[in-house]
Amino acid sequence: MKIAAREDLKNARLEAAAKMEKQDIRVLVCAGTGCVASGSEAVYEEFRNQLEGREGISLDFAPHDGTKIVGVRHTGCQGICEIGPLVRIRLGDKVVQYVKVQPTDVSAIIQRTILHGEVIEHLLYHGQAQYVSPSDIPFIAKQTRIVLSNCGKYEPDSLSEYIYSGGFRALEKALFEMTPEQVIQEVSDSGLRGRGGAGFPTGRKWSSVAHQPDPVHYVVCNGDEGDPGAFMDGSVMEGDPYKMIEGMMIAAYAVGAQNGYIYVRAEYPLSVKRLREAIRNLEEAGLLGNNILGSSFTFHMHINRGAGAFVCGEGSALTASIEGKRGMPRVKPPRTVEHGLWSKPTVLNNVETYANVPRIIMEGAQWFRSIGSEGSPGTKTFSLTGAIQNTGLIEVPMGTTLRQIIYDIGGGIKSGGTFKAVQIGGPSGGCLTEKELDVGLDFESVKKYDAIIGSGGMVVMDQGSCMVEVARFFMGFTQRESCGKCTPCREGTKRMLEILQKIVDGKGELSDLDDLENLAQMVRSMSLCGLGKSAPLPVISTLHKFRDEYEEHIVDKRCRAHVCGKLRRFIIDEDKCVGCGKCARNCPAGAIIGARKMPHKIITDQCIRCGTCQENCAFDAIYIEY
Amino acid sequence: MLERSCYDLADRCIEKHGKKPASLIPVMEDIQDELRYLPGELLSYVAKQIGVTEADAYGVATFYENFSFEPKGKYEIKCCDGTACHVKKGIAVIEALQKELGLSKDKHTTDDMQFTLETVSCLGACGLAPTMMVNGKVHPRMTPDTAVALVRELRGDNT
């Protein structure tokens, strides 16, 4: 249906409400990347197949004839990815959350829950207690969902459901009740800061672009979430694409842009698909195009897929990539707000930033400021992963402590483990340790502890993670992803990686630590762009907080986490060895000696720690000592 | 010389994205989606058509990791070595697959062109680490054994 004027939008709302409210029961199957991987699509199909044509039930929007109308819908990420596929059943006001649902569970759910309103206990979430409603589960109850408010409730592809959820009210308000200046003022007053990592005030950015003399402006959305271990922006794009697009449209109205670009990384095929579908639906409805809702506002959207370069998350590299060039950053100033895409003034914000905008326009700056901390209002999404009980996607007010996130929401460390550190901000961030558990997380506070909020990747580590190896891992990543344009980053990351590799290989010297520190400071202060400037952070933070682990690797040749393979020692158990000689024959280094039918011995100095002997031993006589 | 159909494909992609320099990346992506690699000859053709120099086009194609001048196998396996997968021992899965398929850090595609194995830095399903993706489908919670079993199952489908 065409939504060409305010009147049409009003009718679309009524129509959407009529459709939604006719559904007596809604079956909401999570279609986030995590649950799709766990097989939620088969569950969704099974529900549709079994309900289709079933007596007493009409599927989705069939006319009301005394039968129960059951809507079977996909939703965005419901959060607790660990125990997917997740299914919510809405029965009137009551919502039941089922976890780990298999296609074979579907007929019981239909029979008992959908037809008779009973709860199936073994499919419920069991934590410290058994929870029926999702809002009772501590993991969900302790969150504040603004950006993710629709995830788990509505079909991401459906424009009608987005409109039902309150969608495009903010755009309508902006277009007809506010001037562009008022929109910018509201966003400035709200204190919204860029959620991509740097935390730059969004309102100030918009205002700079709006005041540029060049008449052509662009808005660009950075959906190139390349930080390994982070999937917040992907979840927003695939879970609630319209909200992010509405945010971009409001930005475009505010700064006077007619074209917007979304840059999505290629590893997120689901995000690309849902965004394309959303844009197509909006174009068909007339909500994207010329004279939107009959106003003078005209806006077109384009999607660009990334091609696997982490550096394209940097502003000037991202715009170069959209222009079809190598994604290499350039010297600034001039900044993107003056000289961005096609050399025009450009607003470049990240997915989560745009997704905050509609609600700010609707509820006002004061409301937004009532959430979060003084300097960092609002919420932040985090992807909680690693050695934690409940992995998944969360959204909490800025200023929430690490302890609340890990223990209250995340349910603590995975069985048997003890907390060691959290890597926050990915390869551009640092780690926080037990000492920092009670620090409220916001843009300022985290910086004091050699880390950054970053985009929101949060990887929890227990005693099984080696901090030196983690630093080497991140340096390996940034070294690979360095574009090579400036020398400090190109050469500095390479040299740092070599030193870290040397240490985990057991060949480190104590002087290496000073070299690392010096190199890290050099790269940090002299690199051209954010990638290089932040690349040494994981090294700096682990060096400062886990220096004893570095020293153990160097002096004692020991890795307490039992991770670094080159620091393990293979030992032959004399009681078990029968002297068959198979290990000695297969040893590539000739490091095993012993007479036939007598216990053999490994010469530690010659051993290259490859493990071939252990693989070949038929008597289980070779063990590892760390 | 490539087959005529490859040039037709390139023409279709150019038509879709427009005959302009900015179309270079989307056109190359679409060609690679279709052919599973980017033939050098076709890249030269595209460059000429959309008005960029061959050198610039080559520069762009080699800058981005996703473009490959080498044909890829029927099954493209992307093993995740992002942070979450890394701390959950994703490396062991990669090593097991390399061993099973006879591949290494430098050899990514099997001689029979059935499998290509690549390491990537995050598939966005970190809650279910370690993960891998086979032809666009994400497989969760891999172990060396389940990964090898999956490859064997795929191989069985072909013979």
Look up the ipTM and state it.
0.91
Range of the domain at A573: 568-625
Residue A116 sits in a domain of what CATH number? 3.40.30.10
Is A270 in the same domain as A248? yes
Q: Do B54 and B33 share a structural domain?
A: yes
pLDDT digits (tens, 9 = 90+) for B117-136: 999 888 888 889 999 999 98
Cα separation, A622 vs A240, in Å, equals 54
| Tens digits of residue pLDDT in B20-68 | 999 999 999 999 999 999 999 999 999 999 999 999 999 999 999 999 9
CA distance linking residue A458 with residue A382, whole number of Å: 6
* Partner A contacted by B88 (CB < 8 A): yes
Cis amide prior to A334 (ω within 30 degrees)? yes
Q: Is residue A295 part of a domain?
A: yes
Q: What angle do CA B123, B129, B133 make, to 5 degrees?
A: 40
B91 touches chain A (CB under 8 A): no
Q: Taking Cα atoms as reference points, which of A36, A49, A41 lies closest to residue A110?
A: A49
The residue among A267, A384, A483, A610 with the most chain B CBs within 10 A of its CB, best to mutate, is A267
CA-based radius of gyration for chain B: 18
B126/A231 Cβ within 8 A = yes
* Whether residue B9 is found in the same domain as residue B55: yes
Q: Tell me: do A329 and A190 sit in the same domain.
A: yes
* Cross-chain residue pair B83–A267, CB shorter than 8 Å: no
Structural domain contains residue B68? no
CATH code for the domain in which residue B46 is found: 1.10.10
Same domain, A304 and A216: yes
Q: Which of A224, A265, A374 is nearest to B78 (CA)?
A: A265
- Chains A, B: CB contacts within 8 A come to 137
Best to test chain A binding among B60, B63, B120 (most A CBs inside 10 Å): B63
CATH code assigned at A507: 1.20.1440.230
Residue B19 distance to chain A (closest CA, Å): 12
Identify whether A10 is part of a domain: no
Do A254 and A344 lie in one domain? The reply is yes
* A531 falls within a domain: yes
Residues of chain A short of pLDDT 50, as ranges, are none
Of B22, B66, B84, the CB nearest to A386: B84
* Same-domain check for residues B54 and B79: no
Q: What integer pLDDT is reported at residue A54 of this predicted model? A: 87
Same domain, B89 and B150: yes
Indicate whether B31 belongs to any domain.
yes
Q: Looking at the structure, do residues B107 and B147 belong to the same domain, yes or no?
A: yes
Q: What is the dihedral of CA A603, A609, A615, A617, to 10 degrees?
A: 10
Does residue A210 sit in the same domain as residue A72? Answer: no
A280 and A348 together in one domain: yes
Instruction: Write the CA distances from A553 to A76, A467, A498, A518, A548, integer angstroms.
Output: 44, 11, 15, 20, 9
Q: Is residue B10 located within the same domain as residue B82?
A: no
Nearest to A231 among B88, B121, B125 (CB): B125
> Pick from A462, A497, A526: which residue ends a domain?
A462
User: What are the chain A neighbours of B26 within 8 Å (beta carbons)?
Assistant: 304-305
Asked whether residue B59 falls in the same domain as residue B20, the answer is yes
Last residue in a domain, options B43, B63, B83 = B63
Q: Where are the alpha helices (DSSP H) in A227-343?
A: 232-239, 241-255, 269-285, 315-322
Residues A446 and A505 in one domain: no
Same domain, A226 and A364: yes
| A384 in any annotated domain | yes
CATH at residue B138: 3.40.30.10
Same domain flag for A455 and A472: no
Q: Nearest chain B Cα to A425, which residue? A: B83
Considering the domain architecture, whether residues B149 and B116 belong to the same structural domain is answered as yes
Q: Residue A610's domain is classified under what CATH number?
A: 3.30.70.20
Of the pLDDT bands very low, low, confident and very high (cuts 50, 70, 90), residue B157 is low
The yes-or-no verdict on residue B158 having pLDDT over 60 is no
A374 is a domain residue:
no
Looking at residue B2, its pLDDT comes to 86
Q: Does A253 map to a domain?
A: yes
In chain B, residues with a C-beta closer than 8 Å to the C-beta of A326 are 59-60, 63
B132 part of a folded domain:
yes
Hey, what amino acid is at A519?
Answer: L
Contact A323, A342 (CB under 8 A): yes
Q: Are residues A457 and A500 in the same domain?
A: no
Please give the structure tokens belonging to residue A545.
């907080």
For residue B9, the enclosing domain spans 4-63
Is A392 an 8 Å CB contact of chain B?
yes
Looking at residue A64, its pLDDT comes to 61
**Does A228 fall in a domain?**
yes
Q: Quick one: A310 and A442 in the same domain?
A: no
Kindly state whether residues B152 and B81 are assigned to the same domain: yes
Q: Are residues B91 and B146 in the same domain?
A: yes
Any domain includes B69: no
CA distances from A167 to A13, A152, A171, A437, A603 (A): 9, 16, 8, 38, 71
Q: Do A268 and B22 touch (CB under 8 A)?
A: no
- Total domains, chain B: 2
- Domains identified in chain A, total number: 5
Within this chain, do residues B48 and B84 fall inside the same structural domain, yes or no? no
Tell which of B13, B39, B63 closes a domain.
Answer: B63
- Of A146, A51, A54, nearest to A89 (Cα)? A51
Whether residues A177 and A289 fall in one domain: yes
Buried b (16+ CB within 10 A) or exposed e, A491-528: bbbebbbebbebbbebebeeebbeebeebbebbbeebb
Q: What is the pLDDT of residue B121?
A: 86
Inter-chain touch A267–B122, beta carbons under 8 Å? yes
Task: Sort out which chain B residues have CB atoms less than 8 A from A269's CB and list them.
Answer: 136
Average pLDDT, chain B: 93
Q: With respect to residue A14, please indicate whether it lies within any of the assigned structural domains.
A: no
- pLDDT of B159 strictly over 50: no
Closest CA of chain B from A233, distance in Å: 9
